[in-house]
Structure formats: structure tokens, C-alpha cells
Amino acid sequence: MSLQLNQLQSQVTPLTTPSPWALCVAPMIDVTDRYCRYFHRLLAPKARLYTEMITTGALAYGDVERHLRFDVSEHPVALQLGGSEPAALAHSAKLGAEWGYDEINLNCGCPSDRVLQGAFGAILMTQAQRVADCVKAMQDVVSVPVTLKHRLGLDYEYSYEFVKDFVAVQYDVGVRVFIVHARNAVLKGLSPKANREIPPLRYDMAAQLVKDFPEATFVLNGGINTAEDSLTHLQQFNGVMLGRAAWHTPAVLGEIHDRIWPDHLRLTEAEVIERMYGYLEQEIQAGTRPRQITKALLGWAHGKQGARQWRRHLSDPAQMERLDARVLLEAWQLLQQASFQAEQ
């Protein structure tokens, strides 16, 4: 454990009764599929995991099983929906509950080009009553929590009253969990990637929501990359949600988990490899391409001796074409060898 983390722990009050949303992994398109979530669950047994955003159209007209199937070990796991029609969202939410999801989350923060068509995402923040109608329709057909993920504002309007009024309308219909990405969404001129980096973070404004709605649960999202960041924010918020950090440096999930739930033993790295090997073998036999699974593991060795060999082996097209789960054991051996050599 680093000196910096030791110093932080001496300054931060330990969590007494962590919220069920204390540690969350953000919904990320093309990232948090069921394979990635299975891996993240091994690293952080009590974290709350979120699916990629799934649109109501995908569930109305697509392969429902492909979109909603998940491993029982993923609990607690939330289904994030994208849509703006109450009836369609109610239908999708009911499907999610029937498949066993622990939470239904409505996306009111996505800044992609499609939101300008009014289909879903951040543009819904301009339609607070419509969102409330959608929430009510979902609440009427499910017994699990219906939650929201939203931004602080749109484009370059930084008024606190805008987000406060939006939250108030949803609170009035019974929403009690809000995941706040502490940036604006700039819908004209910035790509989704730029929207994760360029609009300034305003943690102070997000913290004001906590004060104004003390009975609600607020999870902070945006710019949280380390255990130190998380522990600091958990002094003000009920939870933290990690996005790209969970993808690029997934080991951080275990570090945060240990601080929030110090008495809950996690798997060792060797045990994680053993579980992932069995899972990979099972999925390959079911027709899954190894790359679909191993891509989630590439960042796990970040900062270690042999990390480059680990990434190279698990992303090598020739290795992936072997359709052999032993590729993971081979990568693990390369990592162990590099660590041993570095110690000599």
C-alpha cells in the first residue's frame, strides 16, 4: 500500500454502513457486456454493476435473450434503458425485472448525436415531466428500484436551478437514487468522448443536490480514477461510479472494495484466473469468441512487470483464433515470469 494511500486513510473517516450503491461500475456501450461484468464481479464482490445502455427498440424488436441474459454471479446488477416513451420503457422495464435485474436505470445523460432527435439521453433533462411520466410507467410494472443517471446541465448553461428542478420533479414521483455525472452534456459540437473530458467537473454543484435532497441517494460519476478519489468523494456522496477507470485499470475496483468493505474477503489474483479460465472455457464451448471476453482483462495488469506481454498475448489475433481457454493461463504465466525476473 502506498504512502499516499496510508496518509489518506488517516484523514478519511471509515464508512460505517455503506450504501448498496457505494461502489458502482458505469454503463458503457461496447464495454460493460456480460463478459466484462462477470470479470468485474470477481474483483469487487459487492459492487453494483450496470449493463450497457439498451434501447427500448432493441428489446421490442431485437433478440431479448442476447440483450438481457446474464450470469447469476453478477448480482447486484442493474439494467440501463434508453428511451423516452412511457409505454415502451414500461415494457422494457418489465422484461428486465422478469429476467432478474435488481434495478432499472433510465439514461438521462448520454450526449450522443442521437439524443438530438429526442430519442433518449441528456436531451430528456429538458423534458422533466416526460421523464417523470416514464418513471411512473416503469414503477407501475416493477417492484425493483427505478433510478436515473443524468448530467448537471446541457451545453453551456451552468445554472444550479436547472438540475435542481429536474431532480425535484423526479423525486416527487418516487425516484430515490440519482447517479450524477458531474459535468454538463454539450450536445452540439462535442463528441461523446469529448463530453467525458472537456466539460468541467463541478463536484460542488453535485454536492449541493445531496444537501437539498437529504432523503435521496446520490452516486457521483465523472473523473473518479483512483481509490483515493473514491474515498474522498464517499465522505459527501452515498456512492461513487467508475467508468473508464474500471475498464483501463480494473484492479482499482478491488482496491476501493477493500476500503469500503474491509471485512469482506476477495478472491486472490490466482483465484480470479482460475475462475476466468473456467468461464472462458465454458463460453468458448458455447460459441463465444475468446476476444469478446479477454478484452475486459487487458488492463488488469496495468503497472505490473509483464503488463505488455499480458496485453499482447490476450489480444493477439493468432492466439484468439486458437479458440483455447489456455491462452489465459499462458498470459498469466508470462506475467508471473516477468515479475519473478524483476525480483532477481
Q: Enumerate the active-site residues.
A: 110
Place of cell 524483476: 342
Q: Are 324 and 287 in contact (CB under 8 A)?
A: no
3-state SS record for the chain: CCHHHHHHHHHCCCCCCCCCCCEEECCCCCCCCHHHHHHHHHHCCCCEEECCCEEHHHHHHCCHHHHHCCCHHHCCEEEEEECCCHHHHHHHHHHHHHCCCCEEEEEECCCCHHHHHCCCHHHHHHCHHHHHHHHHHHHCCCCCCEEEEEEEEECCCCCHHHHHHHHHHHHHCCCCEEEEEEEEECCCCCCHHHHCCCCCCCHHHHHHHHHHCCCCEEEEECCCCCHHHHHHHCCCCCEEEECHHHHHCCHHHHHHHHHHCCCCCCCCHHHHHHHHHHHHHHHHHCCCCHHHHHHHHHHHHCCCCCHHHHHHHHHCHHHHCCCCCHHHHHHHHHHHHHHHHHHC
